[in-house]
Structure 1
Amino acid sequence: MELSSTMQKYVLHWGEMGTRWGVNRTVAQIHALLFLANEPITAEDIAETLGVARSNVSNSLKELQSWGLVRLIHLAGDRRDHFLALQDVWEIFRIIMEERKRREIDPTLTVLRECMREADHDAALESATKKKMGQVLDFMEMLTNTYEGYKRLPPSTLKQVIKMGAKVAKFTTSAENKAK
């Protein structure tokens, strides 16, 4: 597969951003390539296009499939496996958010809750420290509850909520300034 200079720039940058988000560079590049592609691609073509080892492509595709961002498809008359990325950016965003919550936020909340329960019986823990731990737990639970409410919204409604966000912040800031 031949990449235009713009596609190549996009794929390379997505790989770089992936590393900043804690995602393997090749995984992110493959996702970008499959997202931009207008037809399913074989693992061999991915390896050749990106100049990476076939084994790396295989492992990366398994990771993307485990997230639900890429699916395996078969084409009539071709025995090779082809791969296609999810194309709806709102669905991609939803899946990534849900997976990150499941893999990162949920375990953190579990440990924070355990720490707060244990804090009641930890005589060596200062009350100021316990208070800080409670603030972090409250913050994380607030974010999680907000996410749980938003994730059920249809994309059209979520777009409106996001667009309104800056207006609400400006209105709230203005109202706070007037109250002072």
Structure 2
Amino acid sequence: MSPSIARFVLHWGDLGSQWGVNRSVAQIHALLFISDKPLNAEQIAATLGLARSNVSNSIRELLAWKLIERAPLLGERRDHFTAEEDIWEMATRIAKGRKEREIDPAEAALKLCNAEAANDPDISPQAREKLAGMLEFVTTMSSWHDEMLRVPKPALMRLIKMGSGVVKLINWRPGKSQN
């Protein structure tokens, strides 16, 4: 493996662990992403110096996230794998997966907490207001996420590239009331 590829794989592994993803999972993803050809588990283990069992578990996780897929090769009995190459598709799948695993359960829990708080005489009006505000925030962000995933990639890219132009478009200024 070239030094620049090794650096990418190691860096992606470090980033993965900062994002709450197992380092080995992130490194395997990086290796498959950057690889010019499909790799089997043995090749991955040998290249990264990982235990075969670790590679198998990591591959299962990456398959579940739909970040990699099996790539059948003629004359090969072993499974080979490739990573999604479209950066937007990869980011979208990660965003969807994280929302399903993290935001949706938080939203459901906040809905339940708000429903219970509405009938609980021991909860202050301020506490009810804080719970309602948190639920509104999470629900709004969840809806925004879903809406952004429906925007076609080229339009979303134009929106992102607008950067501070979006702020100008909505006429936002620091210190100005934004309600």
Fold-level similarity (TM above 0.5): yes
Residue equivalent to 1:26? 24
Q: Distance in 1 between matches of 2:109 and 2:2?
A: 47
> Matched residues in 2 for 1:103 and 1:39: separation?
31
Q: What do residues 84-116 of structure 1 show as CA deviations (whole Å, max 9, x unaligned)?
A: 001000000110000111111000000000000
CA distance in 2, matches of 1:135, 1:86: 38
2:155 is equivalent to residue 154 of structure 1: no
Pairs within 5 Å for 1:45-60: 45-60=43-58
Provide the residue aligned with 2:100 in structure 1.
Answer: 102
Q: 1:102 is paired with a residue of what secondary structure?
A: helix
Q: Can you give the 5+ residue segments of structure 2 that lack an aligned partner in the other structure?
A: none
Partner of 2:137: 139
SS at match of 1:71: strand
- Give TM-score scaled by structure 2 length: 0.93
Q: Which residue of 2 aligns with 1:81?
A: 79
Provide runs of 4+ in structure 1 moved above 2 Å. Answer: 170-179
Q: Could you tell me which of 38, 62, 65 is aligned with 2:63? A: 65
Cα RMSD (Å): 1.7
**Sequence identity (%):** 44
Calculate the TM-score normalised by the size of structure 1.
Answer: 0.92
1:147 positional shift? 1.1
Superposed CA offset, 1:103-147 (max 9, x none): 110000000000000011111111111111111111111111111
Residues 88-127 of structure 1: matches in 2 within 5 Å? 88-127=86-125
Deviations 1:15-61 (A, max 9, x none): 11111111111000000000000110011010011101000000000
Matched to 1:64, the amino acid is L
Q: Is the 8 A contact 2:9 2:27 kept in 1?
A: yes
